[in-house]
Amino acid sequence: MLTVKQYIKHNYINNTSLWQLVALYYNFINFNRKKIRGINNKIQRAGALLHNGSITIAGDNNTIIINSGASLSNVRIFIRGFDHK
């Protein structure tokens, strides 16, 4: 039996636009938290599934890139400083 995440990934991964929409909704209902202080910070995560995670950035000009199709669960990302990628 497939989990909901496996079912979604199996059926929608080939349609990029639809996958990004599904990932956005999935991330919204799973209460991911992000706290960003500073300017020009970017989080690129289109099409990635994040479950029960948090992202905290304190600084300027930082970038976090999570590739499409990635599935992260219970991950905490913390960046303090400037110009990190």
Which H, E and C letters describe the chain, residue by residue?
A: CCCHHHHHHHHHCCCHHHHHHHHHHHHHHCCCEEEEECCCCEEECCCCEEECCEEEEECCCCEEECCCCCEEECCEEEEECCCCC
Give me the count of residues in the chain.
Answer: 85
What's the one-letter identity of residue 12? Y
The answer to whether residue 65 scores a pLDDT higher than 70 is: yes
What single letter denotes the amino acid at residue 29? I
Model pLDDT for residues 2-52, shown as the tens digit of each residue:
566 666 666 655 556 666 676 666 666 565 678 889 999 998 887 787 778
pLDDT at 43: 87
> In this predicted model, which residue has the larger pLDDT, 61 or 6?
61
**Predicted local confidence at residue 4, as pLDDT:** 64
What does the pLDDT average to over 40-65? Answer: 87
- Residue 68 has a pLDDT of 79
Select from 49, 47, 20, 57 the least CA-distant residue to 32: 49
